[in-house]
Structure 1
Amino acid sequence: MTTASDAGRTGPNIPLIIICGCLIALISFGPRSAMGLFFQPMTEARDWSRELFALAIAIQNLMWGFGQPLAGMMADRYGTWKAMTLGTVLYAIGLLLMIDAQSAVALHVSAGILIGLGIAFSSFSLVLAAFGRTVTPAQRSLAFGIGTASGSLGQFLFAPLGATLIEHIGWQDTLIVFAGLIATIPLLAIALRGKSDAPVAAGTASDQNLKAAMAEAFGTRGFLLLTLGFFVCGFHVAFITVHLPPFIADVGLDPGLGGWAIAIIGLCNVAGSLAAGYIGGRYSKPIFLSLIYLGRSIAIFTFIMLPITPASVLIFSGVMGLLWLSTVPPTSGLVAVMFGPRYMATLFGFVFLSHQVGAFLGVWLGGKLYDETGSYDPIWWCGIVLGIAAAVIHWPIQEKPVPRLAQEAAE
């Protein structure tokens, strides 16, 4: 329950929180989404295999996943600003160490572990949790859509930016530029300094401790299904982000088209995320998620079955962009509906961990299967099957508060 003093204190800051949160999502998501652009120049410069570089990005996704619940706990307990400042330091150091990475271990530590943890502690997941604690329940889905769309805008801006910088100043200096941009996050995060463990009225939903919240979540069937289904989202987006640019080059098209493909995905995802926020606030979130995953499978199937041309690449990128992170607003919205915003950063962190396990497998298997077979076809077909499975998994999820919250609402 929000007291009058709380409302007076936090109400005027809502626009500032939304603006700064969106800028953070944009900046933090940008370099990460452009990692695929470093694939060819770094592997050629260091004489690495595709599997080696793919494994580094796979580790990055995995560490992002394992770090996300910890980042959520830190933000819930100590505040978003402290969590994001830690993330900024790790993120920037990882980008800078990539420049001098001469061995597989150095690459996996810098691009994998450090950047992965840095993203976890500075990503849009913490931004969405901050939004969830700030806006009203009726506004949450749209706010989540706006925050997610901002991350997508970062992908749109950083993909051509990264491609242009790599072409003109080289990949090493491009990493320095990215690190400098990441360093601005703590300044923006000052507006998000609030924490979810601020004083609350005893006996309310917010009076629950973290251990009880986690036990409640993992004892809820809908939460487990949501967590399992989000695995597929990570598999799709990570594989395409990292491997679509080299796939385009492999089929004989202009390598520069890869940067534009990722940029179009990001641009269309802005529209897709905003639309998902609107739709998720008015219609069934589980059914909407099922349709998104089914749509992804249809898009991938159509793409690989037709001749690969510049037009088909751009059309596929646009369609996938609409379906890209449109899963995030309804997924995070379901967490908030089921359990409330009190420990949303932590609980969504566990859902996101599943997403990143899927991302790890999508990136790593993409590189490994390519090295073994000389083709990306096996992983494309795997993505189709997983999309159909996710559509089935999300359908039975019930969009309603857990009994604890429902009882309190009735009192």
Structure 2
Amino acid sequence: MTVAVFLLLLLGAVPIALVLALTAMWYIQASGNTVLFDSYPQQLFSAIESYGLLAIPLFMLAGELMNEGGLTKRLIALARILVGGFRGGLAYINLVANMMMAAIIGSAASQIAIMSRAMVPAMEEEGYDTPYSAAITAAGGLLSPIIPPSMLFVLFGVMAQVPIAEMFIAGLLPGLLLGASFFVVIALVGLVQQYPKGQWPSRQQALHDALWGMPALLIPVIIIGGILLGIATPTESAALASLAALLMGRFVYGDLRFQQLPQVLTRTAINAGLVIMLIAAAGVFGWVVIYEQLPQMAAEWIAALTSSPFLFLLLVIGALLLVGMVIDGIAALILVVPILMPIAQSQFAISPYQFGVVVCLTLVMGLLTPPVGAGLFIASSMTGAPPLKIFRALLPFLLATLVTLVLLAWLPWLTDGLVRR
């Protein structure tokens, strides 16, 4: 009956945070174990009582300040210097700029929204069709869960009790691998569609863009460098990145006005509040899941199917692709980690880094797949292209992501290699 209530609320378009909280309340009432209601508020607060979660609003703030302060367009100009002259140059520029932004924003949805506004109009002007332009931008959002910093990595690290800094390091090689596969897709599509050959900027323009782009490039350097060198925690790096984005946007580029700060802070507070509320509600739901010993039952069922870590991860990928199609990535992560993480470690000796990277990337694919596909609708609303046309243009990128996931499941050193050095 509890499962029926959960599905009824979910399919009834009730906000996912309320779905989780109300389902947990229903279970407590239906089980007759009403004494658990005394622990309900405590479980709500204990789910968000983690220092690491402070990184989420701070990374959101850094992304907002970068966009308002003109840092985003300077990174795009810097990307033009690197790849702008190839056939389909703007497509490569879009991808490289997305990789740079992924190292700052950490949220796929925010990245798709920001880069759609910045890149799609420019691609349309040079003859690229709108669905393909929107598809490249949406595909760039797939880089955000694995190129550090990653909001999903922060959540996974908190839930799995894994150092967040080490999760960030584990995402470096997979992020570069996924980016390289997207480069191959763009090259092949460019040859088939005969997209226009790009133009390299003049030496003077390249020097100008490089000089003005370098300060913006310091933001990901501050974040990743501070973490890798052990100078700052992920939360401290996020705070430093927000401060740097504020100072650069106001005093270096001059695009940011202090009058804009209330709007920036309000947007950040609303978005971060939604995420934190979801984490709190999911904490209560996870408490019920563990109380019912669902991880142990799932472990017995999966152990009967296979004893191979690789096949287990393939099963996880297949299941989470379906889950990600109907449930938001953050909510899905909070739901599946308490169930699948103990199985991965105890039954199959899979490292938390490999498991975390595979799970996070798989769930974010759901952001770009129907029927929910929030990322598709964000890209559609920003560009005016129909969601299904964007999805068709996205298929080669989704296929490349699936190939990458299989490699990550097959070769543990891709995620564990840098962490264990």
**In which range does the TM-score fall when normalised by the shorter chain?**
0.3 to 0.5
TM-score (norm. length: structure 2): 0.32
